[in-house]
Structure 1
């Protein structure tokens, strides 16, 4: 898919698609969540990954954080080795 094809599908300019792709947006130009949802659908990409790349927290993650803020503060404070151990234990449990 070319930038022109994507711009046509998204109803935006080719220059906007180029800026998004190359990370050359100004603060007021950042894509909305609605744009990212549509972009993920058009590109058959992982919506949560695109949202996170745009510094937007996916709704499902936001809800979990709101349910357990103390737990997420603890996770955020962990070093890489500790987080790796937690991830490994989760992977083993599943």
Structure 2
């Protein structure tokens, strides 16, 4: 029987990315259980919770990463680093 995951491109960067997302979700769950969040308004045009900001930040980081991959021939690690900074900014001030 053929491996069901052969179609995926499991490179080290992809594995690191998905591992980081799983770790962030686990950490956010523990954080939420220990200290329930309240909605606040930052630079985003809507009141958000920590979970909302994580979701929006992950989407923004993904778009930055895709734009980097499509617009430059430079190493993808730079795009990932910029995306991570975007995620941090959204989480902190969003």
Calculate the TM-score normalised by the size of structure 1: 0.28
Larger gyration radius, structure 1 or structure 2: 1
Calculate the TM-score normalised by the size of structure 2: 0.28
Q: Tell me which protein shows more helix as a share of its residues.
A: 1
Q: Which structure has more RCO (C-alpha within 8 Å, separation ≥ 6)?
A: 2
